[in-house]
Amino acid sequence: MTIDTWIKIWRTGFAIAILGAAQFVVCSIIAMVLYPGGTIETKATSNYRLSQNYLGDLGREVALNNKDNETGSRIFNGSLILLGVCSIPFFLFLPTHAADRIGWLSVAAIFGVVSSILMIMMGSSPADISPFTHFVALFFWVVTTFFCTSIHAGCMLTSKESPALGMALISVAVAMLTVSYIYHSTETAAAVIYGREIPLKSVMLQKLVFVSWLIWVFAFSARTLLVTDFSEYAERRSWQDTDDYLKQLEDQPWTGQRK
């Protein structure tokens, strides 16, 4: 594979991640408009309520007020599946965020790819059709996202070649929000099990986790596409043999983001 081909694949991967995040935002808004109504506290309500409805409610084929939500659920679940697929390239190229932290970033990438697969599972298993699969996938998505963003944050903060501090802090924010969401989700689960009043903190936290995750993917993808310097990639001259060219690349390896 030539250097030019590699760069094109690399750029395409991050562009796909950006498009995946953008389409999910648009489709979620459409699904919110189409949602008939009903919340975990009050079934007989109309419309989608940000402070009382989980994102997963948009994927229900039958809304919580027992009205049909087939169109909205198809839009939301389809966009969630597509988001999971589009985020895979982002994680596969995660190690390129800092060349001096490739080892740990590769570990983060593994957690990231697993989280993408779990996202696809969530979209394929609506909460009212396959609740066990949906909530198990959601739980492990949050856990794998925490490990991925935590490792990524550590690498970005300690790398000599990482992006600006502000970008690294986005990773920190996502990791902290996932921990908070896990904690409040256990409170919600306990309330359901023991028949107590369900705390609604986790409803908004879930949205904050997803929004921050989307910002993380979008911001790093956009910045990487815009500022990565490929000038030190040495093009192969027509007169060079393979050994000379490979030796030239070893002497001038790509060290990631320069600007």
The answer to whether residue 179 sits within a structural domain is: yes
d(CA 222, CA 254): 19
Number of structural domains (the chain) is: 1
The answer to whether residue 237 sits within a structural domain is: no
Q: Is the pLDDT of residue 36 over 60?
A: yes
Confidence at residue 46, expressed as pLDDT on a 0 to 100 scale: 86
> Mean pLDDT in the chain?
83
**Residue 39: which pLDDT band, with cuts at 50, 70 and 90?**
confident
d(CA 157, CA 163): 9
Residue 205 CA: distances (Å) to CA of 46, 93, 185, 199, 216: 22, 28, 9, 11, 16
Could you tell me the residue range of the domain that residue 114 belongs to?
Answer: 3-228
Q: Is the pLDDT of residue 116 over 80?
A: yes
The answer to whether residue 123 sits within a structural domain is: yes
Q: Which two tokens stand for residue 221?
A: 């993808």
The answer to whether residue 259 sits within a structural domain is: no
| DSSP track, 103-116 | HHHHHHHHHHHHHH
The mean per-residue pLDDT over the stretch 125-151 comes to 92
**pLDDT one-digit tens code per residue, 221-242:** 988 787 665 544 445 455 556 6
The answer to whether residue 234 sits within a structural domain is: no
Residues in the chain: 259
Q: In this predicted structure, which of 33-37, 118-122, 245-249 has the lowest mean pLDDT?
A: 245-249
Q: What percent of the chain has pLDDT over 70?
A: 79
